[in-house]
Structure 1
Amino acid sequence: PAWAGFVATSDNPRAPALLVAHLQRPSLVDSSIWQSHVDWARQQCADRRNIVAVGDFNATLANLGGDQLGPCQDAASALGLESTGTWPSALPASLGAPIDHTFFGPGWEPVAFAVLDSQATRGSDHRPIVTVLNPNSS
């Protein structure tokens, strides 16, 4: 759907499809567009084993109903690091909401996840995230 993001693929069969998300934020009166964007991202994860979904989901894991996006798992949650706020960068991370995520399909396993607090005021109202994934050996 418009403004939800896009999926980039490679000719290399070992490279993951990369879903780059910027989901419409829900409003107090209507979350239908946001929900359709979440459904789209969830379906992309369901359709591909070899996928990584990253970006601004405008949702905490509680908003998404857990640490899964279809069969994709949240990297921060898998590593026990899901509580650091990524938005808004004007507040301390401990007061922010973790709405930026990396979800990975079953072909991947998380090695590291970080919210870069030192970059918080550099041109965005979000703190950047960095995720390191390795191909799953199983």
Structure 2
Amino acid sequence: MEARPRRSLTGTVVATGVVAAGAAVVGAPDWFGLAGERPFVWTVPFRVPTGVGLAGLALATGLAGLRWRRALPAATALALAAAGSLGATAARGVSAGDLPPARAGDVTFLAANVLMARADPAGVARLATDAGADAVSLPESTQAYADDVAARIRDRTGTGVQVFYLPDREGGYGTALLVSQRLGEYRPTGELTGGVKAVVTAAPVSGEGPVLAAAHTAAPVPRLVDDWGVEVRAVADWCARTPGALLAGDLNATLDHPGLHLRGSCVDAGEQTGTGARGTWPAKYPAVVGATIDHSLADGERWRAVGSRVDTIPGSDHRALTARWRPVH
């Protein structure tokens, strides 16, 4: 007469363990080193939908537990996994952010993926000038498009703008780095070249001012997952090893992906200022459920983020990220 209850208890424990393990892996694959593996490479950027889905399963399982109590432990496990997924998002911040008034020595860096040069150049220039951007990263640009945006910025501000551009390996759309003359004269350095996507790096001719990079990495589509991992890691490593570095762009990765597990002194503006989980792609969906794949990184020994802001880019499938960096004294 005692065997059946013991078997039932054992079955409940095993089932609860399986549900708990599965929910933990789905809700936080990065904790298990799986965020760079299929299929989690595509799910981990969307923590809020995942958390909401787990919460829905927890509720349904809990309701079933009203009639079948053995379901209650599984419902609890699902609820904890949902809370963990949503809590991680809340900790990084889903605010649209804000920029404090600039001080002498601050550098403001705008990242705006312009969707194969389809975004409104006047709108992009307006974003840059309204924010007082000293540097602008334009993934999916062309040389002509970047020159157009730079000319519009010059017209609005009366300040000269240098344009550095590299085409992507796959076609006619590359990455541009625009640098205001307020930062002085710059020269391209040619680092991080040769990837599927283009990364533009530039250093001040005088030796003063920050080393800059406008970055775009391969997307983790099935045929490019390996290239994506290499390129994202290379960008993060460049940030960590380059004194005074400032970098902005579309990195096609979140801070949960292994390539963006930042090392050394490299820091992320969104994580520091409360926009670290504000979705920047796809722009057609509410930002709270989107993927935070556009970033602004810096050498944290030289710079600290004092503000960041996520804005709509007219005509693009990405949102823009503007970060204001202040020298660390």
Could you say which TM-score interval applies, normalised by the shorter chain?
0.7 to 0.9
Partner of 1:37: 231
Alignment of 1:29-108 (within 5 A): 30-64=224-258, 68=262, 70-105=264-299, 106-108=301-303
Q: Quick check: 1:126 aligned with 2:318?
A: yes
2-structure distance, mates of 1:12, 1:30:
39
Shift of 1:80: 2.8
* RMSD (CA atoms): 1.9
Equivalent position SS for 2:214: strand
- Contact kept, 8 Å, 1:110 with 1:131, in 2: the verdict is yes
Q: Quick check: 1:13 aligned with 2:242?
A: no
Partner of 2:34: none
Normalised by the length of structure 1, the TM-score is: 0.87
2-structure distance, mates of 1:136, 1:5:
26
Once the two structures are overlaid, the 10-residue window that deviates more, 13-22 or 49-58, is: 13-22
Q: Quick check: 1:22 aligned with 2:216?
A: yes
Shift of 1:84: 0.6
Shift of 1:69: 5.3
Runs of 4+ in structure 1 displaced over 3 angstroms? 64-67
2-structure distance, mates of 1:38, 1:134:
25
- Contact kept, 8 Å, 1:41 with 1:69, in 2: the verdict is no
Shift of 1:99: 0.4
Shift of 1:70: 4.9
Partner of 2:17: none
Identity of aligned residues (%): 32
Once the two structures are overlaid, the 10-residue window that deviates more, 60-69 or 12-21, is: 60-69
- Contact kept, 8 Å, 2:253 with 2:260, in 1: the verdict is no
Q: For each residue in 1:10-57, what CA deviation from the matched residue of structure 2 results, as whole angstroms up to 9, or x when unmatched? A: 123331111111111012355111112113212322331110111000
Once the two structures are overlaid, the 10-residue window that deviates more, 17-26 or 60-69, is: 60-69
Structure 2, unmatched stretches of 5+, are 1-193
Equivalent position SS for 1:60: coil
- Contact kept, 8 Å, 2:283 with 2:316, in 1: the verdict is yes
Structure 1, unmatched stretches of 5+, are none
Shift of 1:67: 5.7
1-structure distance, mates of 2:263, 2:213:
12
- Taking structure 1 as reference, are residues 39 and 49 closer, same or farther at Cα in structure 2, changes over 3 Å only? same
Q: Whose strand fraction is larger, Structure 1's or Structure 2's?
A: 1
Normalised by the length of structure 2, the TM-score is: 0.38
Give 2:256's aligned amino acid.
Answer: A
Once the two structures are overlaid, the 10-residue window that deviates more, 30-39 or 92-101, is: 30-39
Give 1:47's aligned amino acid.
Answer: R
Q: Whose helix fraction is larger, Structure 1's or Structure 2's?
A: 2
Larger radius of gyration: 2
